[in-house]
Amino acid sequence: MSYIAGVDIGNSTTEACVGEVRSDGNIHFLTSASCPTTGTKGTVANTHAIKSALKQAMSKIGREVEDISLIRLNEAAPVIGDTAMETLTETIITDSSMIGHNPSTPAGAGQAVGEILLIDKLSRGVPGTPYIVASPSTYSYEEVAAILNQASDSLNITGVILQADEAVLVENRLRKKVPIIDEVSRIDKLPDGVLAAIEVALPGQTVRMLSNPYGIATLLHLDAEETRTVTPIAKSLIGKRSAVVLKTPGGNVRENILPAGEIYFDAENSSSINLDEGAEKIMQAVADAGNIYDISGQPNTNVGNMLTRIKHGMSELDQTPNADIRITDILAVDTLAPVLISGALAGETCLEKAVGIAAMVKTQKLPMQEIAEKLKLDLGTEVKVAGVEAVMASLGALTTPGTKLPLAILDMGGGSTDAAVISEDGKVTMTHQAGAGELVSMLIETELGLGDRHMAEQIKKYPLAKVESLFHMRMENGQMTFVDESIDPRFYGRVVLLAENGFIRIEKDIPMEKIVQVRRDAKRKVFVTNAFRALKKVAPGHDLKNISNVVLVGGSAEDFEIPEMLMEEFAGYRIVCGRGNIRGTEGPRNAVATGLVLSYAGERS
């Protein structure tokens, strides 16, 4: 009896499959396991994950790794699916212009216009002149309310700006109700005597006047040229519950177009394109370039620096001094990124136009034999580099019930989306495309302003719900779900992720509907786009109508909505598309590892 193991080293996960070779030469599959990949795919650091996955698999059948007769590895050339994000515009504010602000705790409603007057200078106020009173946190809410009530008899107080988080407490104590904005941390920077406009929206609504350049012009009496220059301010206030804009004599607000730079394609049809042309035109240029040998960027520009960083990351992993490091594919995606406004006084952010790029980086060096030798030394077992990844994945996918040749596969992982077509005579055509799960996570993290890649990963993986009472929640599809036992009060009123082991609370105050939209858009931009361009490359005649069956494999094929998205998109081509079920038991996982074991039987026959 001999045991044969197939090991698939992926960007994110290393998978193992073990089969028993029977006397008649057939393979009987016994066990499988997976664990996170250690190091970058195709480097010697992968050996730790390989040994861990094999140990887990063999323990399931009560055996040791040393009992394996042969370990077969996929040809995992070092390929980095790297990602980078660059904004193309930037809002800059100078000379103490201020916009704002924290939209969560204002009080009152409506708009107010007036000169800024500090609370300790109320005695200087002139009757009949409209004022917006600013109070630092050194004054308590009782003191602020008392002072304003007393001053309102003689002064025209139209609105209030507070440094502390006390707007509601102050408003409850005022005889004359006015809009109040709080949590303006840099209130000491407010210039006295300057004309300002504030707005507080009704609950559930957002500001309307100050998010409209003509609204700002109306309130602050701006001319046409001044109205044009405040457009970035209005843009930054879209979606806020409260807002404040100051009209400073020397204030300057402008939208700065950053030097995006040219992308150069060293290809069958060499060409170049500017990054600020947008993702659609960039991807058209990628398609028109044909067979790409290398991609680089214009020096000292955003895209040049971005691509240089990605190549540098690969060079740090490849110890060969003159390694031929090349970027052979990119996926560009248009997005909006919340960027801190240069010169703003209250930490305001503005959604700026950005382009996310995933790059496929390859090197001539193939250290798989080095990995094989180290494993042989560590385990005392024969190790062979046995097959090309896409070919092995196709063999494994054929064990899915209901499949037959010819067959196409989409292997959707963390760093890349790979496609292959295996014809009726066994010929395999394959391609590797940049962009997969990691780029989706980056887009989610960026567009939602999370600052937490792990949380973005969780949002990508799980559906959402809003806990609306201790006994029911509203699912993202609108369905109401009731529970028998009380929900933990920590989740009350919060958006949560429905993970396998319980709820995960979203800490940031983001509407559930926005999270759902960003998540789905990110998946469509990456996986639907890549699925079409990958399959067109490998389809006979580069026509999708020549493909009849597509099996989805890889980690991202386990996603709760990506396969359904692809099924909808392929419906117009009459393509049978769905998650693979490797060996009828593994789901979309383990295709390459299974193919490596199957190919052993094919080599012996």
The 3 state secondary structure assigned to 127-148 is CCCEEEEEECCCCCHHHHHHHH
Q: How far apart are CA 174 and CA 152, in angstroms?
A: 10
Q: Show me where the domains of the chain are located.
A: 1-77+366-401+584-605, 82-88+258-363, 96-252, 438-520
Neighbours of 128 (CB within 10 A): 8
Closest to 556 in 3D by CA, of 448, 457, 431? 457
Quote the pLDDT of residue 97.
44
- Reported in sequence order, the residue ranges of 201-301 that DSSP labels E, i.e. its strands, are 242-247, 252-257, 262-267, 271-274, 292-297
Q: How far apart are CA 24 and CA 27, in angstroms?
A: 9
Q: How far apart are CA 62 and CA 254, in angstroms?
A: 69
Quote the pLDDT of residue 321.
47
374-405 pLDDT, tens digit each: 999 999 899 998 877 778 888 999 999 998 88
Judge whether 46 and 323 are in contact, CB under 8 Å. Answer: no
Q: How far apart are CA 540 and CA 178, in angstroms?
A: 69
What's the pTM value of the predicted model, to 2 decimals?
Answer: 0.78
Report, at the CATH architecture level, how domain 96-252 is classified. 3-Layer(bba) Sandwich (3.50)
Quote the pLDDT of residue 53.
95
Q: How far apart are CA 172 and CA 177, in angstroms?
A: 9
Q: Which helix (H) or strand (E) holds 553?
A: strand 549-553
Which residues, in sequence order, are bridge partners of residue 411?
Answer: 418, 553
pLDDT over 70 at 92, yes or no: no
Q: What is the mean pLDDT of the chain?
A: 85
Half-sphere exposure of 576 (CA within 13 A, CB side): 9
Judge whether 472 and 481 are in contact, CB under 8 Å. Answer: yes
Hey, which CATH number is domain 82-88+258-363, 1.10.3470.10, 3.30.200.20, 3.90.470.30, 3.40.50.1010? 3.90.470.30
Report, at the CATH architecture level, how domain 438-520 is classified. Beta Barrel (2.40)
Rounded mean pLDDT, 9-14: 85
Alpha helices in 399-558 (DSSP H): 437-448, 453-461, 512-523, 529-538
204-219 pLDDT, tens digit each: 788 899 889 899 999 9
129-151 pLDDT, tens digit each: 999 999 998 999 999 999 999 99
Q: Which helix (H) or strand (E) holds 115?
A: strand 110-118
pLDDT over 60 at 100, yes or no: no
Burial class (CB in 10 A: 0-12, 13-18, 19+), 20: middle
Rounded mean pLDDT, 494-515: 92
pLDDT category at 417 given cuts 50, 70, 90 is confident
The interaxial angle of helices 529-538 and 562-570, nearest 10 deg, is: 50
Judge whether 53 and 90 are in contact, CB under 8 Å. Answer: no
pLDDT over 50 at 526, yes or no: yes
The domain covering 1-77+366-401+584-605 belongs, at the CATH homologous superfamily level, to ATPase, nucleotide binding domain (3.30.420.40)
Alpha helices in 479-561 (DSSP H): 512-523, 529-538
Quote the pLDDT of residue 41.
78
Rounded mean pLDDT, 581-590: 93
306-333 pLDDT, tens digit each: 788 777 766 666 555 445 778 889 999 8
Per DSSP, the three-state class of 76 is coil
Integer angstrom CA distances of residue 74 from 77, 138, 183, 214, 374: 9, 67, 57, 62, 15
pLDDT over 80 at 364, yes or no: no
28-77 pLDDT, tens digit each: 999 999 999 998 777 788 999 999 999 999 999 999 999 999 999 987 65
More confidently predicted of 439 and 94 = 439
Least confident piece of the model among 507-516, 560-569, 578-587, 594-603: 594-603
Quote the pLDDT of residue 96.
38
Omega before residue 406 within 30° of 0, cis? yes
Quote the pLDDT of residue 230.
78
Same fold, 1-77+366-401+584-605 and 438-520: no
Least confident piece of the model among 229-238, 369-378, 421-430, 557-566: 229-238
Tokens of 227: 């109205």
Burial class (CB in 10 A: 0-12, 13-18, 19+), 274: middle
